[in-house]
């Protein structure tokens, strides 16, 4: 199997953005001026700057007079010999092409010509205000010649000029650059590439007549002895002396050519991006700037769509071993991407990922092809004859079929050519059919680090499998620098993000969303902020908070929010709550894992759990609505978690206490639960630990409310419903299908006070006292005390209410607000297992949520 590059894929990728600041060299750059720092990545000190340094400036780097001045500063790099290859000003080449088209079509091209002329003359006046370099006069002469040529094109009398016209922008730009640099008085000379560069057409694009070009350059240099040269990019002449160009994006190619011809020691291509990115940043927000690449890696990526590189640019510099660096004129302190013979080892076997769009797969199937020599030659000969470009080839060892990816607009032509070539084989039944699979993309993973390294393909395929990507065909060359896979076009973005995650992000990178930034939510964010440095240092855990929501609004962040600044982001940029969009944003395809923390206490949010978990989103919550809600929903959550995300809810029963974890451990190790009993409300624990019959129970309720131990309406605690929900969760965890309406719940709120307003309830709070005083007196007469306990017996009977525990019962010895649970099992039959500790408060509850989050992270491989 092999993978064949094709130039048609070149324009598939956009320019890339943002280098990783961690790749910078502050200790070097700080010692240099901004201009001198431009050369710093090539040497350890400014004194070791390249003897001959070729710079190329793209159109976006020469958009106006100010950008020319910036370029001048970048050229002040300490090199004794500098060559500046320039593109046309931004947008000029397109404008010239449009002028020719208008002239050919008989349209009025004069206004566009005048606007283009004015733009250049204004720039000349800014760069050469005193006309010391006669820049304006030179440009006026060029535009006069352009006007005459357009008149001839309109008269159908100058097709040759029309073909060469797109290169005029570079000619104009070279005059502007020379003026900006100070001209010959400053040691600069201008070289029109058409005087020396001779090219000819070839199958792989424009080829260079190196011997003749070098001979002409040597003659030119004898006539021009200046050390520094401004060179027109993009333009050349053919062997007949006619003006021509190197094709679109040919300025990079011409820069590499002149770096070779001038025997340069380094080439820097200045553009509007920081370097070569690991993937298209429009599709992969976490794409990273590559600090270095080998020529081989760069060639693979160029042919497979990395727009920042022209496919032909590398050959001239590779021929002489000239290091090439891609840098950003708008961010000159960034070191960019260095391309040389060997890339720096950075731990990643893959250097870049690229997508080739608008393809189709042609497949020839035949039982009679097995073992028949020349089948592939026959197939690809037919495609060559039909002018069909092949992007990728794949054939199984059985030889039953052979397939290739081709441009979608050439698929039908390719199929017809193969059918004609195999007509005899099909007539004899040796070949069955040629099929076309449309809407295909090819994803290519490129990197020198793959050579000889086991498991790279497995890493790629595992990432794609987790993203549910079906592979239509696979190809890897013997050089092992490129693994290509054909996939459905609709899966392309998801596949690219999944592959990028597999190689560039930590396997424990988690996209995090928080619903409910109340007391518990804020406490959790504070705990995460404090722990984040430790995670990054010790645990390989990368938590990225990307979404925040309350009951009405949400904020979806394109990049991770700092945990300690999340509230500010939410307040500044919130929109209406949409839980579906919230989950889709958290489930980002470019991040391996997604987790939602629900601190809302909302049953409406809990209703989404089954579909979120089924989509692979992990959920952690202190809310009891899922665990104690409708049994049908609880079972749907459990079913979804079998093949989807994890669901953890330790904080629902005992806040930070490991109650569910303890029960789960007992059952998983084969023990049998017979009875559960305990105090599951910190509020009720405090009330009954304090109640001694001397102080009225109503006064204790008022005191607890003032201390913040109760809910805003104490009836939410006194009703026992919250305790009952916790008991339902424990029972279900033990495998019992219990619902809330099956629990006997004793409410401490008299029937007459359940529906009144909160204010009236407080006014009549004393009505709680007499019934409880009577029960307390009866218990004390028997030598007992009162406690509010939840109980699940061996027969499945569940109850919540006031009881008088026997002497020695664990509930009689707890601290004021302690939660306490005791498990009786087959192993712990006589002496129950007791879990006891603080069971209320936002910090404790947040710690329980935090613990669940870390447990999930550990299952994903984090050393948490």
Active site residues: 726
Query: Is residue 789 within 8 Å of 678, Cβ to Cβ?
Result: yes
Q: Quote the longest CA-to-CA distance of the chain.
A: 121
Write the DSSP string, 258-288. Answer: HHHHTT-SEEEEEESSSS-BSS-TTT-TT--
Query: 679: which strand partners?
Result: 820
Distance CA 402, CA 421 (A): 14
Instruction: Tell me the C-alpha distance between 753 and 776, whole Å.
Output: 21
Rounded-to-integer distance, Cα 510 and Cα 204, Å = 45
Helix (H, G, I), strand (E, B) or coil at 445: strand
Place of tokens 């720092």: 37
Tell me, rounded to whole angstroms, the distance of Cα 391 from its chain centroid: 26
- The C-alpha atoms of residue 548 and residue 615 are separated, in whole angstroms, by 19
Angle between helices 250-261 and 210-223 (to 10 degrees): 70
Cβ-based neighbour number of residue 737 at 10 Å: 11
Residue with tokens 């001779």: 198
Calpha distance 287→426 (Å, rounded): 48
Give 198's strand partners: 237
Q: Are 86 and 57 in contact (CB under 8 A)?
A: yes
Q: Distance (Å, rounded) from C-alpha 527 to C-alpha 577?
A: 25
Number of Cβ atoms within 10 Å of the Cβ of 638: 13
Q: Which residue in the block uniquely carries the two structure tokens 């913040």?
A: 708
> Is the CB of residue 802 less than 8 Å from the CB of residue 775?
yes
Write down the residue that tokens 């569940």 correspond to. 798
In the three-class reduction of DSSP (H, G, I as helix; E, B as strand; rest coil), residue 37 is classed as helix
**What DSSP line would sit under 786-853, residue for residue?**
-EEEEEE-TT--EEEEEE-PPTT-GGGG--TTEEEEEEEESTTSSS-EEEEEE--SHHHHHHHHHHHH
Extract the tokens encoding 607.
Answer: 């209703």
- How far apart CA 16 and CA 278 sit, in angstroms, is 9
Answer for the pair 309, 276: CB distance below 8 angstroms, yes or no. Answer: yes
**If you ran DSSP here, which 8-state letter would residue 401 be given?**
E
Q: How many of the other CB atoms lie within 10 Å of CB of 662?
A: 17
- How many whole angstroms separate alpha carbon 50 and alpha carbon 264? 8
**Selection from 508, 666, 723 nearest residue 594 by Cα:** 508
Cα 843 from Cα 522, distance rounded (Å):
9
Q: In whole angstroms, give the CA distance from residue 390 to residue 384.
A: 9
Are 206 and 193 contacting, i.e. CB atoms less than 8 angstroms apart? no
How far apart (Å, rounded) are the C-alpha atoms in residues 473 and 99?
45
Beta bridge partners of 141: none
Angle 814-815-820 from CA coordinates, rounded to 5°:
45
Q: What is the Cα–Cα distance from 325 to 37, expressed in whole angstroms?
A: 13
Q: Which of 705, 287, 350 is nearest to 497 (CA)?
A: 287
Residue 173: Cβ within 10 Å count: 27
Strand locations in 562-615, DSSP E?
A: 575-576, 593-598
């Amino acid at each position: 199997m092999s993978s064949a590059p094709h130039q048609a894929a070149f324009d598939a990728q956009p320019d890339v953005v943002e280098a990783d600041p961690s790749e910078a060299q502050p200790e070097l750059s700080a010692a240099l001026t901004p201009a001198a720092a431009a050369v710093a990545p090539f040497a350890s000190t400014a004194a070791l700057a390249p003897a001959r340094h070729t710079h190329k400036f793209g159109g976006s780097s020469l958009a106006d007079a100010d950008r020319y001045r910036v370029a001048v500063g970048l050229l002040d790099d300490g090199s004794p010999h500098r060559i500046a290859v320039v593109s046309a000003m931004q947008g000029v080449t397109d404008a010239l092409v449009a002028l020719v088209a208008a002239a050919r079509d008989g349209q009025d091209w004069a206004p566009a010509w005048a606007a283009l002329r004015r733009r250049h003359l204004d720039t000349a006046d800014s760069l050469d205000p005193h006309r010391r370099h006669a820049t304006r006069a030179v440009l006026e002469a060029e535009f006069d010649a352009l006007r005459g040529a357009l008149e001839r094109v309109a008269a159908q009398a100058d097709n040759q000029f029309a073909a060469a016209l797109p290169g005029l922008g570079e000619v104009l730009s070279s005059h502007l650059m020379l003026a900006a640099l100070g001209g010959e008085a400053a040691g600069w000379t201008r070289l029109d590439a058409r005087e020396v560069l001779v090219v000819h057409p070839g199958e792989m694009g424009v080829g260079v007549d190196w011997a003749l070009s070098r001979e002409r350059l040597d003659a030119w240099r004898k006539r021009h002895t200046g050390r520094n040269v401004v060179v027109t990019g993009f333009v050349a002449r053919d062997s007949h002396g006619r003006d021509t160009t190197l094709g679109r994006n040919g300025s990079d190619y011409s820069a590499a050519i002149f770096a070779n011809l001038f025997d340069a020691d380094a080439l820097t291509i200045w553009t509007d991006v920081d370097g070569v990115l690991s993937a298209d940043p429009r599709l992969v927000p976490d794409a990273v700037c590559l600090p270095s690449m080998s020529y081989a890696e760069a060639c693979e990526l160029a042919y497979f769509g990395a727009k920042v590189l022209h496919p032909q640019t590398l050959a001239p510099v590779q021929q002489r071993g000239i290091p090439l660096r891609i840098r950003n004129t708008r961010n000159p302190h960034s070191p960019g991407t260095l391309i040389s013979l060997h890339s720096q080892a950075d731990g990643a076997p893959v250097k870049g990922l690229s997508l080739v769009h608008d393809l189709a797969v042609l497949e020839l199937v035949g039982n009679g092809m097995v073992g028949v020599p020349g089948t592939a030659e026959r197939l690809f000969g037919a495609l060559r004859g039909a002018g069909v470009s092949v992007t990728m080839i794949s054939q199984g060892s059985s030889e039953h079929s052979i397939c290739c990816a081709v441009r979608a607009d050439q698929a039908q032509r390719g199929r017809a050519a193969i059918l004609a070539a195999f007509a005899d084989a099909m007539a004899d039944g040796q070949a069955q059919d040629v099929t076309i699979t449309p809407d295909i993309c090819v994803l290519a993973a490129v990197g020198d680090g793959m050579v000889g390294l086991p498991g790279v393909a497995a890493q790629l395929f595992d990432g794609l499998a987790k993203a549910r990507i079906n592979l239509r065909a696979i190809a890897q060359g013997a050089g092992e620098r490129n693994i290509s896979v054909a996939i459905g076009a609709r899966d392309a973005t998801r596949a690219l993000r999944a592959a990028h995650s597999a190689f560039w992000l930590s396997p424990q990178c988690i996209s995090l969303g928080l619903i409910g930034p109340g007391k518990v939510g804020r406490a959790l964010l504070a705990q995460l902020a404090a722990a984040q440095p430790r995670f990054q240092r010790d645990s390989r855990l990368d938590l990225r908070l990307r979404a925040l929501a309350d009951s009405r609004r949400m904020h979806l962040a394109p990049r991770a929010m700092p945990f300690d600044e999340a509230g500010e982001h939410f307040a500044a940029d919130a929109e209406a709550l949409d839980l579906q969009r919230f989950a889709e944003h958290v489930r980002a395809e470019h991040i391996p894992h997604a987790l939602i923390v629900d601190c809302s206490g909302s049953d409406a949010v809990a209703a989404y759990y089954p579909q979120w978990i089924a989509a692979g989103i992990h959920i952690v919550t202190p809310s009891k609505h899922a665990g104690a809600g409708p049994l049908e929903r609880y079972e749907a959550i459990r079913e979804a978690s079998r093949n989807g995300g994890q669901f953890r809810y330790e904080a629902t029963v005992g806040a930070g206490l490991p109650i569910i974890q303890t029960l789960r451990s007992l059952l998983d190790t084969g023990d049998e639960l017979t009875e559960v009993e305990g105090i599951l409300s910190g509020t009720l624990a405090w009330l009954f630990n304090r109640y001694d019959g001397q102080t009225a129970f109503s006064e204790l309720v008022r005191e607890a409310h003032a201390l913040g131990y109760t809910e805003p309406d104490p009836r939410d605690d006194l009703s026992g419903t919250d305790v009952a929900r916790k008991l339902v969760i424990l029972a279900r965890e033990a495998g019992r299908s219990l619902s809330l309406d099956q629990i006997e719940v004793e409410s401490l709120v008299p029937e007459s006070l359940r529906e009144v307003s909160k204010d009236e309830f407080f006014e009549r709070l004393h009505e709680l006292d007499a019934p409880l005083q009577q029960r307390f007196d009866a218990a004390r007469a028997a030598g007992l005390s009162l406690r509010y306990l939840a109980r699940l017996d061996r027969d499945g009977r569940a109850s919540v209410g006031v009881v008088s525990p026997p002497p020695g019962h664990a509930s009689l010895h707890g601290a004021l607000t302690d939660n306490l649970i005791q498990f009786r099992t087959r192993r712990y039959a006589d002496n129950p297992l007791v879990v006891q500790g603080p069971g209320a408060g936002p910090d404790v509850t947040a710690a329980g949520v935090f613990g669940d989050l870390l447990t999930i992270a550990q299952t994903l491989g984090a050393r948490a």
